[in-house]
């Protein structure tokens, strides 16, 4: 019989996993996975008559697998980012001492194993991409490579991880999703460029920590980091515009969303006192992607009705 101490311990582990999920980043990867899935379904016919039960189950396994893999990667990154986080992110579990480094490594190993097990039912192509994503995330965070230290190699690595998640999504609906992506190379190109830019913006809050740890931070090397943040965000909006028009979102809807996001970003840049506060550009970016996704689905369903 499970006693109260075991229940509390289980709740504590669950709370830790939630803290390591980091929703402002995880949601982007889940969006890439779902977009890959839905785009491939749309290629097969307007959302392929809303999927079969088997495909929906595979999608559910894939979402769980990618979520746990992200939590694993976040823990590994936090273990090797302690010097940075003590300065820039002092509320993270490892910095606060909520969990030890040894405990974090054990939790990461468990999450990685569970993630790999959940990847198996999705299919061989997805399983292959799972290992590719895991390998890139490890190279990004852990010695001896620790690609996070080098600009722009670290950002390119994160963009490739995002591209891998998108392709993994295409493989859920169609095992030869690689061929689907190859036929429509512009889409993966726009996605890689957009997420490369977003990966720059994420470093805004880590300027001092990166400097202390000897990590190259683009914002720590310019005189006007807010201006650079706005330029980079404008580049993201530009890539999102090209992606949206490529998949069929109406020009008017796309431009309207861009105008609102650009005005909001400018307001945030002017009114936010601390540079770290501009991390909210990630929230704004995700909301814009959700808006475009809704407009795209409306377009796809309209094509289906006609």
pLDDT for res 6: 41
pLDDT computed for residue 8 by the predictor: 40
- With 0-12 / 13-18 / 19 or more C-beta atoms within 10 angstroms meaning exposed / middle / buried, residue 69 is buried
DSSP per-residue codes, the chain = ---HHHHHHHHHHHHHHHHHH-HHHHHHHHHHHHHHHHHHHHHTSGGGGG--HHHHHHHHHHHHHHHHHHHHHHHHHHHHTHHHHHHH-TTSHHHHTSS-HHHHHHHHHHHHHHHHHHHGGG-HHHHHHHHHHHHHHHHHHSTTT-GGGSTTHHHHHHHHHHHHHHHHHHHHH-TTHHHHHHHTHHHHHHHHHHHHHHHHHGGGGGHHHHHHHT---GGGGSS-HHHHHHHHHHHHHHHHHHHHHHHT--HHHHHHHHHHHHHHHHHHHHH-SSGGGGGGHHHHHHHHHHHHHHHHHHHHHHHHH-
User: In a structure prediction context, what are the per-residue pLDDT tens digits for the chain, which is 306 residues long?
Assistant: 444 444 344 455 666 666 777 888 899 999 999 999 888 877 766 555 556 778 889 999 999 999 999 999 999 999 998 888 888 878 788 888 888 899 999 999 999 999 999 999 999 989 999 999 999 999 999 999 999 888 889 999 999 999 999 999 988 877 665 656 666 788 999 999 999 999 888 888 888 888 877 888 888 888 898 999 999 999 999 999 999 999 889 999 999 999 999 999 999 999 988 887 888 899 999 999 999 999 988 877 665 555
């Amino acid at each position: 019989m499970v006693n109260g101490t075991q229940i509390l311990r289980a709740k504590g582990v669950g709370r830790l996993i939630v803290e390591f999920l980091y929703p402002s980043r995880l949601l982007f990867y889940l969006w890439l996975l779902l977009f890959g899935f839905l785009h491939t379904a749309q290629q097969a016919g307007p959302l392929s008559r809303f999927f079969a039960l088997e495909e929906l189950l595979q999608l559910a396994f894939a979402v769980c697998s990618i979520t746990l893999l992200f939590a694993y990667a976040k823990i590994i990154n936090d273990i090797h980012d302690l010097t940075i986080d003590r300065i820039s992110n002092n509320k993270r579990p490892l910095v606060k001492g909520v969990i030890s480094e040894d405990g974090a490594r054990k939790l990461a190993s468990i999450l990685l194993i569970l993630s790999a097990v959940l990847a198996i039912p999705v299919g061989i192509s997805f399983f292959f991409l799972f290992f590719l994503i895991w390998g890139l995330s490890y190279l990004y965070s852990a010695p001896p490579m620790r690609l996070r230290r080098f600009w722009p190699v670290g950002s390119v690595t994160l963009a490739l991880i995002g591209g891998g998640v998108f392709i993994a999504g295409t493989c859920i609906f169609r095992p030869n999703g690689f061929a689907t992506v190859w036929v429509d190379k512009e889409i993966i190109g726009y996605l890689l460029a957009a997420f490369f830019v977003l990966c720059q913006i994420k470093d805004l809050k880590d300027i001092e920590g990166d400097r202390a740890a000897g990590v190259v931070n683009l914002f720590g090397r310019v005189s006007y980091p807010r201006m650079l943040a706005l330029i980079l965000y404008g580049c993201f909006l530009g890539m999102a515009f090209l992606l949206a028009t490529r998949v069929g979102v109406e020009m008017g809807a796309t431009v309207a969303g861009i105008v609102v996001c650009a005005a909001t970003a400018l307001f945030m840049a002017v009114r936010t006192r601390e540079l770290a506060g501009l991390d909210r550009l990630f929230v704004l970016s995700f909301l814009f992607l959700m808006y475009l996704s809704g407009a795209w689905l409306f377009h796809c369903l309209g094509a289906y009705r006609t």
